[in-house]
Chain A
């Protein structure tokens, strides 16, 4: 029964996602009818509508889809591997590492565009996650969930302090950084997506493969070992998946919080006991969340736009509170 329910949810998510992506292409300061949209996509050869759709709305829709899906997948893997319902990709120090790298890019290397931040953000995220994981492994008992969570929070605090120190001392760096830090999907090109896509794809495959291992890990370390699982290796694979996914998302859209956490919780209300489904569903929900946030942000504060990172906090918080209130006991996984 639960399997068919999961399948229904999966199909519903796919339909909703397609619908959201279509709306994201069609709606904005200048709304297009479905016919105009189709025309703009299928008939090359210029025109105002095509410039808007292909030049502006397509990139931001793709960025939102890729970054949102990556965050959703990463969130589900992260919560599974740490067995902590509070786990968010940001917890491995990913967001803080990316932030410090971007501050360095602005302050030291004079990088000024979102496209220029991509490699810095990715590198910073990966290094931070690797440090957190190394600290977790170094101590006795290996990378236990609590140690990973504590190490991630500790590194985040350190790096954030350093970032703030730089921002307080250098007004010009702060001037640029605050616009990256808010989290947005606009102003990126399809080329940026292509640069990051291989990492996101590798991370997605790894995340889906790790589902079976997470099912076994959920029984506890001893039981998992008894069932023949190589626990350290399984944890390391999951960590690599999270780094690839969260690094890709952060380098594309900035340090967007909340998507991973909310998507994984929403997915858990449908598929609580099979991680493979849970992770896949969480990825779809994450993509939908970010596309929807970007879409809402275009209308919520006319004449300007609200960044997706702000909107996701505005709509994500009530959704998450409602989820938590509805199903209290699900969160103990």
Chain B
């Protein structure tokens, strides 16, 4: 605004505006490149370090199928599935959080706080503790629970139209309901079984199966382009429903679609790994601060999610002795980072 006013006043000003725009674009490019570099660095570290170390130089050969049996075991059998699952889960959760927060215009909106993670956890823990399910039953219960809860929240919040505020509040109510149910199940069952269920509710990629990871990847092939495509209409929607309508957008349809894509992303990730804490919640704010922009940043949020989950799992796998689930590390590491960001200079513009 100020820049435009100056532009009419002084002939030299357009150059200044152009310079500022270029600077913004360059910052975005640098930010995305550094995020991608961080993700790649974590990938290399995750695939090479461990009890069976593999030289980073050998990594291309091993990945293309020219490794020794030991290298194949370490990289392809043990580390690659875990890293892949972590990366896909991080991508899905980072995008889901970005979509939720932009659509519902509330920085607290994320599948952790809305009922989606809670519904998935309750369904999975019920399957484990009440029906003694194991193996594939648990993720499918989680997927069903998360999706069912999201649909119920959506239906309940539909009344003469759809508002993000109502969706968030009803989501919180359902989340509380789920946490009450979880506490109940935990106190009424054998303490060992309850501890296992507790471990699931933290979120872990310790023991991935290619089948589940493949399903997650298949879902992402559909959902990720949809989320990236939604970025433009959502940016228009941020101008307000009236302005968006004037620009030929259907605000309600866009909001519902974006929320649905967010729910789907969060549900598939939760089904595979459990509700990995905090990734969906912090990825978008961190990405926004790194890029230095205000709106939805789908690519940066997804990259942040990938870097966050894989880095956390890298740490979790090497804590020694105790195989910590990745969700614990994302909570312990991700949250203080957000706290630190909040105390910094541009911290007020959350």
Q: Real complex partners, A and B?
A: yes
Q: Do the beta carbons of B342 and A147 come within 8 Å of each other?
A: yes
Q: Which chain B positions have C-beta within 8 A of A150?
A: 107-108, 285, 338, 342, 350
A173 to B176, CA, bound (A): 24
A167 to B336, CA, bound (A): 21
Closest approach, in angstroms, between the C-beta of B233 and any C-beta of chain A?
Answer: 23
A149 to B281, CA, bound (A): 12
Asked if A28 is an interface residue, CB under 8 A from chain B, the answer is no
Specify which of B112, B113, B169, B324 is in contact with A324 (CB 8 Å cutoff).
B169
Asked if B148 is an interface residue, CB under 8 A from chain A, the answer is no
Beta-carbon contacts of A144-181 to B below 8 Å, as 1s and 0s?
10110111011101101110110111010011001101
With A160-B277, A164-B202, A171-B195 as contacts: A153 and B108 at CB distance below 8 Å: yes
Q: Closest residue to A254 on the B side, CB-wise?
A: B183
Which of A114-122, A133-141, A190-198, A224-232 contacts its partner? A133-141
With A139-B348, A183-B183, A309-B180 as contacts: A324 and B173 at CB distance below 8 Å: yes
Q: Do the beta carbons of B198 and A174 come within 8 Å of each other?
A: yes
Which of A32-40, A65-73, A278-286, A313-321 contacts its partner? A313-321
Q: Do the beta carbons of B176 and A258 come within 8 Å of each other?
A: yes
Q: Do the beta carbons of B159 and A164 come within 8 Å of each other?
A: no
Q: Which of B187-222 contact A (CB under 8 A)?
A: 187, 191-192, 194-195, 198-199, 202
Q: Which of B318-342 contact A (CB under 8 A)?
A: 322, 324-325, 327-332, 334-336, 338-339, 342
Q: Do the beta carbons of A317 and B177 come within 8 Å of each other?
A: yes
With A150-B338, A161-B331, A167-B198 as contacts: A321 and B170 at CB distance below 8 Å: yes
Closest approach, in angstroms, between the C-beta of B269 and any C-beta of chain A?
Answer: 17
Specify which of B166, B170, B329, B336 is in contact with A154 (CB 8 Å cutoff).
B336
Q: Do the beta carbons of A140 and B202 come within 8 Å of each other?
A: no
Q: Which of B8-54 contact A (CB under 8 A)?
A: none
Q: Do the beta carbons of B173 and A179 come within 8 Å of each other?
A: no
Q: What count of chain B residues pass the 8 Å CB interface test?
A: 59
A150 to B345, CA, bound (A): 16
Closest approach, in angstroms, between the C-beta of B295 and any C-beta of chain A?
Answer: 16
A139 to B348, CA, bound (A): 7
Q: Do the beta carbons of B107 and A158 come within 8 Å of each other?
A: no
Asked if B64 is an interface residue, CB under 8 A from chain A, the answer is no
Q: Do the beta carbons of B198 and A309 come within 8 Å of each other?
A: no
Asked if B314 is an interface residue, CB under 8 A from chain A, the answer is no
Asked if B241 is an interface residue, CB under 8 A from chain A, the answer is no
Q: Which chain A positions have C-beta within 8 A of B144?
A: none
Q: Do the beta carbons of A261 and B342 come within 8 Å of each other?
A: no
Asked if B165 is an interface residue, CB under 8 A from chain A, the answer is yes
Specify which of A84, A153, A182 is in contact with B183 (CB 8 Å cutoff).
A182
Q: Do the beta carbons of B177 and A175 come within 8 Å of each other?
A: no
Q: Closest residue to B112 on the A side, CB-wise?
A: A157
Specify which of B108, B165, B331 is in contact with A331 (CB 8 Å cutoff).
B165
A149 to B168, CA, bound (A): 15
Specify which of B169, B195, B338 is in contact with A86 (CB 8 Å cutoff).
B169
Q: Do the beta carbons of B342 and A151 come within 8 Å of each other?
A: yes
With A154-B335, A157-B335 as contacts: A321 and B156 at CB distance below 8 Å: yes
Asked if A200 is an interface residue, CB under 8 A from chain B, the answer is no
A178 to B336, CA, bound (A): 26
Q: Do the beta carbons of B194 and A153 come within 8 Å of each other?
A: no
Q: Which chain A positions have C-beta within 8 A of B107?
A: 146, 149-150
Q: Do the beta carbons of A165 and B324 come within 8 Å of each other?
A: yes
Q: Do the beta carbons of B348 and A155 come within 8 Å of each other?
A: no
Q: Do the beta carbons of A84 and B108 come within 8 Å of each other?
A: yes
Asked if A64 is an interface residue, CB under 8 A from chain B, the answer is no
With A136-B342, A310-B183 as contacts: A164 and B328 at CB distance below 8 Å: yes
Q: Closest residue to A165 on the B side, CB-wise?
A: B328
Closest approach, in angstroms, between the C-beta of B125 and any C-beta of chain A?
Answer: 13
Q: Do the beta carbons of B347 and A140 come within 8 Å of each other?
A: yes
Q: Do the beta carbons of B172 and A86 come within 8 Å of each other?
A: yes
Q: Closest residue to B109 on the A side, CB-wise?
A: A86
Q: Which chain B positions have C-beta within 8 A of A86?
A: 106, 108, 113, 168-169, 172
Q: Do the beta carbons of A328 and B331 come within 8 Å of each other?
A: no
With A84-B108, A178-B187 as contacts: A158 and B332 at CB distance below 8 Å: yes
A257 to B183, CA, bound (A): 12
Specify which of B106, B176, B191, B282 is in contact with A171 (CB 8 Å cutoff).
B191
Asked if A107 is an interface residue, CB under 8 A from chain B, the answer is no
Asked if A325 is an interface residue, CB under 8 A from chain B, the answer is yes
Q: Do the beta carbons of B177 and A313 come within 8 Å of each other?
A: yes
Q: Closest residue to B201 on the A side, CB-wise?
A: A164
Asked if A92 is an interface residue, CB under 8 A from chain B, the answer is no
Subset of 23 A-B contacts with CB under 8 Å: A136-B342, A138-B343, A139-B343, A139-B344, A139-B348, A150-B342, A153-B113, A153-B281, A154-B342, A157-B278, A164-B328, A168-B195, A175-B191, A306-B184, A309-B180, A316-B176, A320-B170, A324-B157, A324-B166, A325-B170, A328-B159, A331-B165, A332-B165
Seen from chain A, the residues whose Cβ lies within 8 Å of a Cβ on chain B are 84-86, 135-136, 138-141, 144, 146-147, 149-151, 153-155, 157-158, 160-162, 164-165, 167-169, 171, 174-175, 178-179, 181-183, 257-258, 261, 306-307, 309-310, 312-314, 316-318, 320-321, 324-325, 328, 331-332
A-B pairs with lowest CB-CB distance, top 8:
A313-B180, A161-B331, A141-B348, A139-B347, A317-B177, A154-B335, A158-B335, A182-B183
